[in-house]
């Protein structure tokens, strides 16, 4: 109870500071030459006009949608990399807010481990596959990939353009999340993960820490999941929120995408073992990635993107070639 009370006070402090940072930045009039405060990061929704019904055959539509959705990769990676420069007000407020949470991470994470993590343990959805080829995905990874694949399959079979776009853009967002959070930022921050039971900690384990300021301990870039020096940001929260942001922007529905993302985050609380600030940082990064993917798609659709498909038939089989510009 004492830890929960301390965490509540700490959360209030961090929330107040975070709110002041956003409110102050948003209300302030930037000096001449400085960029203005950006739009609401959760407000971007694709227009229904982009999904107007057409007379295209199923294969014809799928080819066009694939070309339109999967192009622009270079521009999107550049936008993600330069976000701190392109939108310094949002980046600064988010960075300072996460920094405020780091200051109070110990009581917040203790409370999280004692209250939410046990609830997550009771949520145990079945694995979709026990194949050794898919073990690296983990339980939540299997569900995210299955959601993308299922949505795309439905979109092609039903000739539904919106579903195809949601799946393809989500696939890109998940890939960008992996590159950004898992490979680059984890190695850059090198933050130690918290002890799995901070409240009852007795003996150090070596790969965990009781200090939220234990940064720059990563050994190298990691393609697979490891424990030491890989706390910040949470890759899974980046993935959850990037995917939820895309689905909410395509379908103009927030409840279902973020509800499912929250359920996945809760059931994986114990396995991934993060400080609270790691999870918040991951959620903010994922939201930014989702917005980049949505905005670039919208801009491409308003331009003159051209995609072509050429069927290829040979004695070895039947296939096709898709050409589009990046």
Three-state SS string across 212-250, please? CCCCCCCCCCCCCCCCCCCCCCCHHHHHHHHHHHHHHHH
**Is the bond preceding 217 in cis, omega lying within 30 degrees of 0?**
no
> Residue 32 has what DSSP assignment?
T
Report the alpha-carbon distance of residue 54 to residue 64 in Å, rounded. Answer: 12
pLDDT band at 35 (very low <50, low <70, confident <90, very high): very low
pTM comes to: 0.81
Instruction: Residue 111: name the closest of 220, 248, 1 by CA.
Output: 1
Q: Quickly name the fold that domain 53-83+113-324 has.
A: Vanadium-containing Chloroperoxidase; domain 1 (1.20.144)
pLDDT computed for residue 220 by the predictor: 81
Given a cut of 50, whether residue 275 has pLDDT beyond it is yes
**CA 227 to centroid of chain Cα atoms:** 20
Given a cut of 50, whether residue 28 has pLDDT beyond it is no
**How buried is 96 (Cβ within 10 angstroms: 0-12 exposed, 13-18 middle, 19+ buried)?**
middle
Beta-carbon neighbour count of residue 88 at 10 Å?
Answer: 16
**Rounded to 5 degrees, what angle do the CA atoms 193, 195, 201 make?**
160
pLDDT tens profile 235-255? 999 999 999 999 999 999 999
Q: Which range is least confidently modeled, 99-108, 139-148, 232-241, 301-310?
A: 301-310
Task: Give mean pLDDT, residues 251-270.
Answer: 87
pLDDT tens profile 85-106? 999 999 999 999 999 999 999 9
């Amino acid at each position: 109870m004492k830890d929960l009370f301390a965490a509540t006070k700490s959360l209030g402090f961090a929330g107040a500071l975070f709110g002041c940072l956003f409110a102050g930045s948003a209300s302030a009039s930037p000096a001449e030459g400085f960029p203005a405060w950006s739009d609401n990061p959760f407000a971007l929704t694709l227009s229904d006009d982009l999904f107007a019904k057409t007379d295209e055959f199923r294969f014809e539509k799928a080819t066009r949608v694939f070309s339109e959705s999967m192009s622009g990769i270079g521009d999107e990676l550049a936008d993600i990399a330069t976000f701190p420069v392109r939108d310094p007000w949002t980046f600064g407020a988010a960075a300072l807010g996460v920094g405020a949470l780091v200051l109070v991470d110990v009581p917040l994470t203790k409370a999280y481990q004692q209250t939410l993590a046990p609830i997550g343990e009771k949520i145990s959805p079945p694995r979709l596959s026990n194949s050794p080829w898919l073990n690296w995905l983990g339980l939540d990874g299997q569900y995210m990939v299955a959601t993308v694949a299922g949505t795309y399959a439905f979109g092609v079979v039903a000739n539904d353009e919106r579903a195809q776009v949601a799946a393809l853009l989500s696939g890109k967002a998940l890939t960008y999340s992996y590159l950004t959070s898992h490979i680059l930022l984890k190695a850059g921050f090198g933050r130690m993960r918290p002890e799995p039971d901070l409240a009852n900690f007795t003996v150090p384990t070596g790969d965990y820490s009781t200090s939220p300021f234990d940064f720059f301990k990563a050994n190298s870039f990691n393609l697979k999941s490891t424990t030491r020096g890989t706390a910040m940001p949470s890759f899974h929260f980046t993935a959850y929120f990037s995917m939820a942001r895309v689905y909410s922007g395509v379908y103009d529905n927030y409840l279902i995408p973020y509800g499912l993302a929250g359920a996945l985050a809760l059931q994986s609380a114990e396995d991934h073992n993060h400080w609270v600030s790691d999870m918040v940082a991951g959620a903010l990064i994922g939201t930014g990635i989702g917005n980049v993917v949505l905005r670039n798609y919208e801009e491409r659709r308003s331009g003159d993107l051209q995609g072509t498909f050429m069927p290829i038939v040979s004695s070895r089989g039947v296939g096709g070639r898709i050409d589009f510009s990046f």
